[in-house]
Structure 1
Amino acid sequence: MKNGILSQINSPAAIKKCSKNELLALTKELREFIIDVVSTKEGHLGASLGVVELTVALHHVFNTPKDQLIWDVGHQAYGHKILTGRRANFHTNRKLNGISGFPKRGESEYDAFGVGHSSTSISAALGMAIAAQLDGDFERQHIAVIGDASIAAGMAFEGLNHAGVTDANLLVILNDNAIGIDPSVGALKNYLTKAKVGFKPKQNNIIEALNFNYKGPIDGHDLPALIEALNELKQQKGPRFLHVITKKGKGLQKAEEDQVTYHAPGKFDKTTGEIISKTDENLPPKFQDVFGLTLVELAEQNLKIIGITPAMPTGSSLKYMMQKFPNRAFDVGIAEQHAVTFAAGLATQNYIVFCAIYSTFLQRAMDQVIHDVALQNLPVIFCIDRAGLVGNDGATHHGVFDIALLKSIPNIMIAAPSNEIELRNLLFTVSKGVNQPIAIRYPRGRGNIIDWQQDFKAIPLGKFQQLKKGTQIAVVSLGTLSVEVEKAIEMLDEKDKPKIAHFDVRFVKPFQNEFFVMLFSKFSCMITLEDGSIKGGFGEDVSAFAQQKNYPGKVINLGIPDEFIEHGSPEELYDLVGLSAAKIANVLEENL
């Protein structure tokens, strides 16, 4: 491959000079290059394989970066990165200090807009197109590439609705492969399926009804047809829409056959596609599985339990309940706002609703949490997965703002279990009924307890627990950071260990006044730890309360600093922000 076409491509200008045969060779080499690197370095695979031809065609036809190209979410942008000067650095993808796994404005002039959450591309591209008109530039093209799962989200429709009443120089390309991370759902998906088999009477075309010039569907793996269609649409004015049919995982048989697993498969054999297995035997469970499997147990006992997730049945492990109780578990698609208000509606009818949603995606539905749930004091149970630093997906996916966002909202309780058994028991406790909304946050990845499926025990809501006795410093940790604290204490000299008391606060809200008054009376120093933003976090509440009570001792707040944390392994990132066991031990030693 070193002597092939791809090795000669350092910018889209070189793609424009390629002959038809060279372009076809380039698509083959680009697909092989993505497979080669991702097989050993890991990352998102299937989406980028599915748009190789589209990527080459776009950079061949359009004058990027002057013409502005936006990839919705960015899972499918690996080929784009490789063709725009980042081939030599692609092996650093998603690694600490390496290139980002998503398009990022600060990384390249070819990344017109930073994307990590879905369904934003149409609105962003429309904004750019209107700006070009205001600047008197009527030639610049603006292209949004969006998937069939992403276009079903409310924000995408808001963008389409606005664009349809403008004469903006906007091209929306629907990359239709019938799957996001999990298979696409909903009525729009069924409509698009009909379009694939030739159902396109004008009066029933939803895109044309929104005043877009519609073309398609066309085969997204037919490079000459793509180039012809793009050249045709390039000459037209106003909002245009190209419907492209692709296959996620195209070119790697295993990825085509199992598109969910090969969205981000980890390491695999680049020739056969076989995943290099990591045995799950005798390993602690993933927190998502503790949630998913426990919910099935609870749902077996209580017919009023409902499960909801916005497009993450596999990632949240709600899939287990969907398999066992399909009438009581709902994947509502990429629609976080709808998920929350749907949950609120069910809660008004006395159903016990578990809404499983990643911390980073809950941000998209804060208005609904406030107005539709908390304001009405509806007992929706938010199961907030991926809380804390999630690792290689970086700043767009870290779950560090949920505490700060939720803490200021009246009526809501916020809990963070410290381990798998605590999570299981807390789910059991709230399944018996609560009289207010509650958010239960837990991290990505595995816990530490293998024998976690123990008999249920109720947890006293709103109460801390003491994990270790001590005389001088009170360490108050939140959630699974208790594990790092215990490791940090073990690193101390034997004479210092008895000086450290360790408390698991368990509940951020309601604030536990009596607990902290007790700590103020017994300890000369207090250290709070949370895997969320220090700004607006629970540590700030402790510091404010200490000042209010004229606490003479020292209060130290540890958490995520007031900046966006980039990508890297979770271990690297927690050490970077001072929340690794070694860094916590340093703080303890400095204050003994």
Structure 2
Amino acid sequence: MDNSQTPLLDRVSAPADLKSLSRDELRQVADELRAEVIDAVSVTGGHLGAGLGVVELTVALHATFDTPHDRLIWDVGHQAYPHKVLTGRRDRIRTLRQKDGLSGFTRRAESEYDPFGAGHSSTSISAGLGMAVASELKGEKRNVIAVIGDGAMSAGMAYEAMNNAGAMDARLIVILNDNDMSIAPPTGAMRSYLAKLVSGPVYRGFRDTAKSITEKMPKLIHETARKTEEFARSFFTGGTLFEELGFFYVGPIDGHNLNDLLDVLQNVRDAESGPILIHVVTKKGKGYGPAENSADKYHGVNKFNVITGAQTKPQSNAPSYTSVFAQSLIEEAKADDRVVAVTAAMPNGTGLDKFAELFPTRIFDVGIAEQHAVTFAAGMATEGLKPFCAIYSTFLQRAYDQVIHDVAVQGLPVRFAIDRAGYVGADGPTHAGNYDAAYLGAIPGMVVMAAGDEAELRHMVATAAAYDEGPIAFRYPRGDGLGVDLPPRGTVLEIGKGRILREGKSVALVNFGTRLGEVIAAGEKLMAYGLNPTIADMRFLKPLDETLLARLAKEHEVLITIEEGGIGGFGSHAATFLSSHGLLDGKLKFRPLMIPDVFTEQAGVNDMYAVAGLDRAGIVATTLTTLGIDTAAVPRTTKA
């Protein structure tokens, strides 16, 4: 941006610079900050709506509290872009979510102003409570503030933390950023006045004095007084739930009224007693028309035109795997009214919004509550329904106990549609779906599939719908398919059977998942070296096609497995089988290719696969090296 458009923001290199500004100047800083975030995200893409909604709150928090001494924790991190600009990272804000650039989430290694990293939601209150207790034990006086969205408050972990904080009477400030549910939206001056009143020292002093007096009275009078005060406050503020959890409730207040925010935060900052919850109502996408009018589409955005709001669309002739899953599930639901869908606050991300248009009574969005989603689906399975639980790979990790205890141990036919399996590019290590094959493959009785292309995904949806013997999962990546022809409806696959795409000799390339296109391309490149590789697509991790794998091992000199998952996945299962049957004791050279055992930083997804050796050049190089062929002349490329 032209710096002349942000004269006050230009003077803010750290939050301390805000403290010398007047309230009118802070208002101008907020306006300039909003413009800066819009411009930056238009260049990089990323999460837009949530950040625009907390601009005034971000300015007020940093102007009021002494960060980083006072700990400010942003739940998830979607809303933290304005925070990054104000905390010394403005010069790098246009590197968001790019290789070697700023993370799209808060990150401890990135700044002292990020006391806790967060890519998944609903962790801020637990972390904040831990910090508050640690500060008390060390004799350090500081405020700890956790900012959490109303969507994140649908997760049980948030309430577990609040219950613990209330019972401990911990010194913790929780700010509920209500930008969707509008639990009790503020209307008029009276609500603002009451919020400031109940957060102020006069009211709190009176309340504490009255409380100490009533505690000495007979129990009936004490309880009546307590309930009367809570009723009077909740009549205006709706805070009874939080009071019952042990929090002093303040709000709701207008999250875009900077003066009200400053007044309330200053009152709360100077209070000495236990946990406080401030209910702030904001508008997602505030200040940018396209984002205000379509908050769901501007939650996460591609690069866009600031004037028109039009987003850049990737050029591809192939459908996305997510859309193929959604349409395939619709076809199965048309044929069987027992098919139902469950999502954990991601109907759009999983494609189930399309399902909902046709079957509104057969889709269930349970909020950010993956544990509940899995057990809820298990309950439906006990009654003969066919639940498809569609959850991103990285988020399903949060429900691992439920997958084992509530589904697998009981042999219930819950279908797990695992989106975003493998690398996810700009969202980085917190969102990479690297582990599902390993953690599901360890569960007895679990069928685990991975689609080699979009047609295979359609078949796997049909296979899962038809399978009633126990839990079954199928994984597929973010992004577009290979452009193969799609059947109108999937065909049920034989459980535990892979397929041979090309018969060759000497070298067997054994694929599991959507590296298949690169495996096929690698096979073609190997022909230039006089090799004629066999190409197999195993389809199933569990049950493993042992017959096919044994034949490949016996008939080839080199066997290479390729998968877009971490250690413990398909390659590990194949190695266990081969070694336990004595098939690695002879001439066979076995090499597993998988995602390295590290947290891979954000970058372009093709770059990630190239570094991991999971592109065609990496597969060729591994093959030649294993055979002892000089790879110096082997070209490295990530292009199709």
Per the shorter chain, which TM-score range?
over 0.9
For each residue in 1:330-376, what CA deviation from the matched residue of structure 2 results, as whole angstroms up to 9, or x when unmatched?
11110100000000000001111111000000000000000000000
Match of 2:499 among 465, 468, 479: 465
Q: Which residue of 2 aligns with 1:272?
A: 308
What pairs with 1:342-381 in structure 2 (closer than 5 Å)? Answer: 342-381=376-415
**Aligned equivalents of 2:490, 2:448: Cα separation in 1:** 21
Match 2:61 to one of 58, 61, 76: 58
Q: CA deviation at 1:453?
A: 4.2
Partner Cα separation in structure 1 for residue 353 and residue 595 of structure 2? 31
* Correspondence 1:225 to 2:225: no
Q: Which among 139, 163, 166 is matched to residue 164 of structure 1? A: 166
Structure 2 gap segments, 5+ residues each: 192-232, 628-640
User: Is 2:615 aligned against 1:580?
Assistant: yes
Output the aligned Cα RMSD: 1.6
Q: Which residue of 2 aligns with 1:293?
A: 327
**Alignment partners' CA distance in 1, 2:16 and 2:421:** 42
Deviation at 1:488, TM superposition (A): 1.7
For residues 299-345 of structure 1, give each alpha carbon's deviation from its aligned partner in whole angstroms, at most 9, with x where no partner exists: 11111111101000000011111111111111111010000000000
Cα–Cα, structure 1 residues 356 and 541, in superposed 2: closer, same or farther, change >3 Å? same
How far is the alpha carbon of 1:108 from its aligned partner?
Answer: 0.7
Larger deviation: 355-364 or 489-498? 489-498
Q: CA deviation at 1:549?
A: 2.7
What displacement does 1:580 show?
Answer: 1.4
Instruction: Give the secondary structure class of the aligned counterpart of 1:172.
Output: strand
Name the counterpart of 2:571. Answer: 539
Matched, 1:590 2:625: yes
Distance 1:212 1:50 in 2: 24
Hey, what's the Cα distance between the residues in 1 that align with 2:312 and 2:600?
Answer: 30
Decide which of 532, 555, 573 is 2:590's aligned counterpart: 555
Deviations 1:187-218 (A, max 9, x none): xx4xx534656793289711112121111111
Q: For residue 251 of structure 1, what is the aligned residue in structure 2?
A: 287
What TM-score, normalized to structure 2?
0.87
The question of whether the paired residues in 2 share the 8 Å contact of 1:474 and 1:501 is answered with yes
Match of residue 471, structure 2, among 437, 454, 457? 437
Task: Find the aligned partners of 1:167 and 1:352 in 2 and give their Cα distance.
Answer: 45
Give the secondary-structure state (helix, strand or coil) at the position aligned to 1:339: helix
Match of 1:147 among 138, 141, 149: 149
Displacement of 1:457 in angstroms is 2.1
Q: What is the Cα deviation at residue 451 of structure 1? A: 3.6
Question: In structure 1, what is the Cα distance between the partners aligned to 2:23 and 2:57?
Answer: 14
Contact 1:140 1:169 in 2 (8 A): no
Q: Do the aligned partners of residues 423 and 49 (structure 1) sit closer, same or farther apart at CA in structure 2, a change above 3 Å counting?
A: same
1:278 CA displacement:
4.9
2:522 aligned partner: 488
Partner of 2:71: 68
Q: Which position in structure 2 is the counterpart of 1:118?
A: 121
Aligned length: 575
CA contact 1:421–1:454 (8 Å) conserved in 2: no
Identity, % of aligned positions: 47
Partner in structure 2 of residue 327 of structure 1:
361
Larger radius of gyration: 2
Which amino acid in the other structure matches residue 30 of structure 2?
T
Partner SS state of residue 183, structure 2:
helix
Q: Which residue of 2 aligns with 1:503?
A: 536
1:290/1:420 contact within 8 Å kept:
yes
After TM superposition, give the deviation of residue 497 of structure 1 in Å: 4.0
Which amino acid counterpart does residue 269 of structure 1 have in structure 2? N
Structure 1 stretches of 4+ with a deviation exceeding 6 A read none
Say whether residues 1:475 and 2:509 are aligned partners: yes
Cα drift, residue 477 of structure 1 = 1.0
Shift of 1:450: 5.6
- 1:36 corresponds to 2:42: no
Determine the structure 2 residue equivalent to 1:85: 88
Once the two structures are superposed, the pairs formed by residues 140-219 of structure 1 within 5 Å of their partners are 140-178=142-180, 189=181, 192-194=182-184, 196=186, 200-201=234-235, 205-219=240-254
Q: How far is the alpha carbon of 1:58 from its aligned partner?
A: 0.6
> Is 1:2 equivalent to 2:6 in the alignment?
no
Whichever residue aligns with residue 138 of structure 2, its letter is: D
- Displacement, 1:168? 1.6
Alpha-carbon contact 1:146-1:175 (below 8 Å) kept:
yes
User: For residues 602 and 437 of structure 2, what CA distance do their matches in structure 1 show?
Assistant: 21
Helix, strand or coil at the partner of 1:546: helix
Distance in 2 of aligned mates of 1:433 and 1:509: 14
In structure 1, what is the Cα distance between the partners aligned to 2:494 and 2:17? 65
* Contact map agreement 1:481 1:530 (CA 8 A) in 2: yes
Paired with 1:82 and 1:334, the residues of 2 have a C-alpha distance of: 28
1:546-578 deviation line (CA, Å, top 9, x unaligned): 222332211111111111111111111111211
